[in-house]
């Protein structure tokens, strides 16, 4: 606990017609930092249970569900070997095998990242990490959204290839590639909205003892100046 004492000397009237004016003693006390961990560092979105009631928490849930659907759709689709074997029958030149594997891989990566983000904010563990982590995570998710855009387009071409080959060769689970493409676009849009909002969201001010000292000193100086003019 620190304090700042400001005293002003007694002023006497030169003519001696009135008694000296005694300026009262002022004491400015620096408050203790709050115990709430939220005061330790700024965050770009709400924390705790309240996180799920904000736009960021809702979008996290949408991303989670969309990526689960991508994994189910790509997992149920044909492995792509047959489609690639008869690939000359289609104008779509993407590899069904590699597109399917890429969908599964990046959907799992995004799922892990969104779970980590949700746990950090809902569990308030985000306060244990430096503020640079927020910015780095935002840019990583925006890069992932760009990858989802590419994979969504490739999955749409994959579906076109499946339908072309399916005219002469039986391909199980037609439409799975189209489903994966749709949910990849949903995840991409949700990620972009979620993390662009965080990027342009200005974190609230944290506990600043220097600002409190300066503010109290200004108030004391104003009060003493007014008392001296009486």
Q: What is the 3-state secondary structure (H, E, C) of 18-31?
A: CCCECCCCEEEECC
Q: What distance lies between CA 131 and its chain's CA centroid? A: 11
Q: How far is CA 59 from CA 62, 64, 123, 160, 215, in A?
A: 5, 8, 17, 30, 40
Tokens representing 132 are: 């640079």
Reference 103, options 160, 176, 169, 161; nearest CA is 176
The pLDDT of 130-134, averaged and rounded, is 91
Q: What is the mean pLDDT of the chain?
A: 79
Long-range contacts for 200-204 (Cβ within 8 Å, ≥24 apart)?
Answer: 201/44, 201/45, 203/42, 203/43, 203/44, 203/131, 204/42
Mean pLDDT on 8-23: 52
Measured distance CA(85)–CA(169) in Å, rounded: 11
DSSP state of 5: E
Please give the pLDDT value at position 166. Answer: 76
Cα distances (angstroms) measured from residue 78 to each of 25, 51, 102: 84, 39, 14
Which two structure tokens, joined as six digits, stand for 77? 């689709």
* pLDDT, position 207: 43
Percent of the chain with pLDDT strictly greater than 70:
70
Ramachandran assignment for 80, one of left (phi > 0), alpha (psi -120 to 50 degrees), beta (any other):
left
Q: What percent of the chain has pLDDT over 90?
A: 48
Residue 224: pLDDT band by 50, 70, 90 thresholds? low
- Residue 204 pLDDT greater than 90, yes or no: no
pLDDT digits over 135-183, tens only? 999 999 999 999 999 999 999 999 888 888 877 677 777 889 999 999 9
Does residue 15 surpass a pLDDT of 90? no
Position 89 confidence tier, pLDDT thresholds 50, 70, 90: confident
């Amino acid at each position: 606990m620190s304090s700042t004492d400001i005293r002003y000397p007694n002023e006497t009237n030169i003519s001696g017609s009135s008694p000296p004016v005694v300026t009262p003693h002022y004491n400015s006390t620096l408050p203790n930092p709050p115990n709430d961990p939220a005061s330790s560092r700024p965050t770009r979105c709400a924390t705790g249970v309240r996180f799920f009631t904000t736009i960021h928490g809702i979008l996290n849930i949408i991303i989670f569900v969309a990526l689960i659907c991508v994994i189910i759709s790509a997992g149920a689709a044909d492995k792509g070997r047959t489609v690639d074997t008869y690939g000359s029958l289609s104008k779509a030149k993407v590899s069904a095998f590699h597109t399917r594997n890429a969908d599964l891989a990046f959907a799992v990566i995004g799922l892990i990242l969104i779970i980590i983000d949700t746990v950090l904010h809902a569990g308030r563990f985000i306060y244990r990490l430096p503020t640079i982590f927020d910015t780095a995570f935002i840019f990583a998710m925006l890069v992932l959204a760009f990858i989802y855009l590419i994979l969504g387009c490739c999955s749409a071409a994959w579906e076109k290839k499946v339908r072309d080959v399916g005219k002469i060769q039986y391909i199980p689970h037609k439409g799975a590639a189209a489903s994966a493409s749709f949910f990849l676009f949903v995840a991409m849009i949700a990620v972009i909205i979620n993390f662009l909002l965080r990027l342009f969201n200005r974190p609230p001010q944290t506990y600043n003892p220097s600002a409190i000292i300066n503010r109290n000193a200004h108030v004391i100086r104003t009060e003493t100046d007014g008392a001296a003019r009486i």
